[in-house]
Amino acid sequence: MTHNLEFTLVTLAFLLLLLQVPATLIFLSRILKGAKRFPPLCPQVATPEQLGTVSIIVPTLNEAERISPCLKGLAQQTYEVREILIVDSDSSDGTPELIKKAQQNDPRFHLLTDDPLPPAWVGRPWALHNGLSASSPKSEWVLGIDADTQPQPGLVPAMINAAQLQGYDLLSLSPQFMLKSAGEWWLQPALLMTLLYRFDVAGVKADPPQRVMANGQCFLARREVLASIGGYSAAKDSFCDDVTLARYAAKQGYSVGFLDGAKVIKVRMYEGMKETWQEWGRSLDLKDASTPSLLLLELWLLLFLQALPLPLFIGNFLAILAGESSRVFILLGSLNGGLLLTRFGLLLAVSPSYDRQNTKHSWLFWLSPLADGLAVLRILLSASKRPKQWRGRVY
């Protein structure tokens, strides 16, 4: 190498170390908390004290192709569930007919139609807000469930018991994901991993409130707490209303939990790689629930901990082969090699969060680190603009 080129490469390597080392220390301080996390929830049997204590709300908009497993799973919940309110936003694909059919077998199902969407609201929190207003005041808990989920028997008692044991006022779960196509198995785990680099793992109590995580696919809240914070109005204009609502409640002093629910609820979110990229990517940046400074911090962590370790490790290796023996290069290569090993360790840790039954492409899950750069790019693109449409609605 020429002297000028060598000096430039060493300087660049030193600057990368300055940016990567503090990011790595922050990341390690978070994942080490996982050793003391609350264990994954297991299905439980309801107790007599839980009789009629839960109202379930399911927002729907043209969900006919995927809501049937959700309805079946909700019907399998026992006497702790007082009512199951399906709040439909004028679906045109036969969704209401499926709800009416379910109601014939289980009178707890009730079909509602929400009011026209006000200009300041996003569709999902508006439907949940309407459902809350229509729910029975006798229910101590309100459970929001998405139509693409598959609740397992014993879900609701498990959530109630965990919330009471840990003193949570609001509790949501991370599900077990059901993927099908090759593209999904390659890209979706990389997108999910962006959350692990930015927040604590499920089961760890988050502090401060601005780092609270939540998942609206399965979100339990005390009715009195929802009433005290104005229902879902605190997240009315958010495309990540679950996290926005959870962080707002945490700022008001309420206890918010996020636990591993892979054994009690499954979800089939999107069909194919393209839809996963388009739909999930619109909200995964969580910018509606974050301050600009916090979002910049998260993007820094993603860039230097998830996107760059593989290309930096390869580039560093090639530089050493070319004769570069500077200690800075050795340190940079060692750091990124360690980050890559940690990345595969995280992949092994989240593997129970994926349902491998009846799929032939699940082996691509283990190649998902090769999609990390693409996943981080999706977050960067999404963070730069607000969504203009969601689930068929234009905003």
Residue 392, pLDDT score = 65
DSSP of 90-156, one letter per residue? --SSSHHHHHHHHHHH-TTEEEEEPPPPPTT--HHHHHHHHHHHHS-TT-SEEEEE-TTEEEPTTHH
* CA pair distance 116, 89, nearest whole angstrom: 8
Residue 256, pLDDT score = 96
Q: Is the pLDDT confidence value at 1 over 60?
A: no
Is residue 157 within 8 Å of residue 45, measured between CB atoms? yes
Provide the pLDDT confidence category of residue 32 given band limits of 50, 70 and 90: confident
How confident is the model over 260-281, as pLDDT tens digits? 999 999 999 999 999 999 888 7
231 Ramachandran zone, left/alpha/beta (phi>0; psi -120 to 50):
left
Residue 390, pLDDT score = 64
The segment with the largest mean pLDDT, out of 195-204, 263-272, 311-320, 377-386, is 263-272
Domains and CATH numbers, the chain: 3-35+292-394 (no CATH), 48-189+200-286 (3.90.550.10)
What are the angstrom distances between the C-alpha of 179 and each of 187, 193, 332, 365, 394? 11, 15, 36, 10, 27
**Contacts of 48 by beta carbon, 8 Å cutoff, 6+ apart:** none
Residue 170, pLDDT score = 98
Whether residue 208 is preceded by a cis peptide bond, meaning omega within 30 degrees of 0, is yes
Q: Is the pLDDT confidence value at 283 over 90?
A: no
End-to-end Cα distance, the chain: 55
Predicted TM-score of the model (pTM) = 0.92
Provide the pLDDT confidence category of residue 2 given band limits of 50, 70 and 90: low
Q: Is the pLDDT confidence value at 108 over 90?
A: yes
Residue 115, pLDDT score = 86
How confident is the model over 42-79, as pLDDT tens digits? 999 999 999 999 999 999 999 999 999 999 999 999 99
* CA pair distance 284, 28, nearest whole angstrom: 22
How confident is the model over 133-146, as pLDDT tens digits? 999 999 999 999 99
Residue 5, pLDDT score = 66
Residue 385, pLDDT score = 81
Q: Which two tokens stand for residue 382?
A: 């999404």
Residue 324, pLDDT score = 67
Contacts by 25-33 with C-beta closer than 8 Å and gap 24+? Answer: 26/301, 27/197, 27/301, 27/305, 30/199, 30/200, 30/201, 31/196, 31/201, 31/342, 31/346, 33/200, 33/201, 33/204
How large is the average pLDDT for residues 31-45?
90
